[in-house]
Amino acid sequence: MIQPVYQQTLREAVTFRGVGLHTGKTVEVKVKPAEPDTGIVFARTDLDPRLRVRAVASATRLNEARQTTLVVGEGVIRTIEHLMAVFHGLGVDNTIVEVDGEEIPGMDGSAKEFAEGINHAGLVKQDRERRFVEIGEPIYVDQGDQSLIVLPAPNLTISYTLSYRHEDLADQFLSLCILPEIFEREIAPARTFVLKEEAQLLLARGFGKGANFENTLVFEKNSPIENSLRFDNEACRHKIMDLLGDLFLSGGFLKGHVIATRSGHLLNLEFARKIAMSSGKSQEKPHHFGSNIPSTLDVEGIQKILPHRYPFLFVDRIEKLHPGKKATGYKLVSSNDYYFQGHFPGHPVMPGVLIMEALAQVGGVVMLSMPEMQGKIAYFMSVDYCKFRQTVVPGDELRMEVEVLRYRSKTGQCAGRAYVGDKLVCEAEVKFAIVDR
């Protein structure tokens, strides 16, 4: 009989202070215990400490390279990947991370100090079983000569091929089963790195303002300048750490064998989004929350209500959900979304019918989240007063505000508006037929 694995949080809070690798600004981070099922939650205490955002792929900014950036209200928290890798690698299910600036400190360029601090604070088991993201069939993404695939496996293994195809950094490969003791010993100490010729380009683009030869390995002729290696393949190990942090944004602890070739943060985040959206495929029927439905839903929660799955699920998260009344949905538009391959190639524009579909899916969540709608499904009947006012392009985030106009046992009608920032891009009224599944 398989023994259950229980969630964990910190025994006590731990504080880290340092300089952001990219911003160069000093910042303080407090990692605090949290209740079961909280997840990994971030807050910007210098902006609005009441606003807390769960760290999931749908809440990240997809158009930034060299770092993973979480959107928190009107602000951001940059470079969360090293801390997220520690949570994933050591087994932290629930915590609240309070940050008084826009970037997690880089410390010595690795996750070593984060891991040591959290281990010193200690972890405690909680009275709730851990949520695993189990892979039932292969999932993959690729972009040119970069690729990621995850295969079904009982535990998490990462196999990474690093190949910069450059004389300053030789090709490297490493495959590891990710366990807390292996993460702490083999992955956490690996530091961030760049090629010498990249360093000046990154500074010109506004990155790396807090980097130096001590916290960043700058490679020339396959050796770091003014530093020494902790591992012969330290660059490959750091890539595994980044990937491990980004994978935790899929919504839980991953069970699968991940095979990565030359991937970076942008492809990692696309992969995490695809895993999150595919993880509910095996569910035959949508699950309903009854009268205890939360007001905020991530992809996992949405999939418990809607039958849609990747690639036809167009809502990343729901906020301010009042079943049967209204909700606000969000959709991050990425250049890797499949429909951009053939819709206005070279001039990507999100198809209007898909914006309309996204609005309808938010409406479906509002309708079907009512307890009396359990076991039902909503089909389009008609669309009225539909107007498209602005184009939507990769990098935009759709905000869809939907309210119910009327509903009966077999029909429902919603009005919705989609925005990008403050600009209205689409509005319509949608009528549904509500039938047994």
Q: Which of 88, 238, 257, 265 is catalytic?
A: 265
Q: What is the residue whose two structure tokens read 């949290």?
A: 34
Contacts within 8 Å (CB) and 24+ apart, 226-230: 230/189, 230/190, 230/191
- The type of residue at 113 is E
Mapped to the 3 state alphabet, what secondary structure does the chain carry? CCCCCEEEEECCCEEEEEECCCCCCEEEEEEECCCCCCCEEEEECCCCCCCEEECCHHHEECCCCCCCEEEECCEEEECCHHHHHHHHHHCCCCEEEEECCCECCCCCCCCHHHHHHHHHHCEEEEEEECCEEECCCCEEEEECCEEEEEECCCCEEEEEEECCCECCECCEEEEEECCHHHHHHHHCCCCCEEEHHHHHHHHHCCCCCCCCCCCCEEEECCEECCCCCCCCCHHHHHHHHHHHHHHHHHCCEEEEEEEEECCCHHHHHHHHHHHHHHCCCCCCCCCCCHHHCCCCECHHHHHCCCCCCCCCCCCCEEEEEECCCEEEEEEECCCCCHHHHCCCCCCCCCCHHHHHHHHHHHHHHHHHCCHHHCCEEEEEEEEEEEEECCCCCCCCEEEEEEEEEEECCCEEEEEEEEEECCEEEEEEEEEEEEEEC
C-alpha separations of 307 from 217, 351, 379, 433 in Å: 47, 22, 11, 15
Known active-site residue 343: yes
Known active-site residue 308: no
Catalytic residue numbers, as ranges: 265, 343
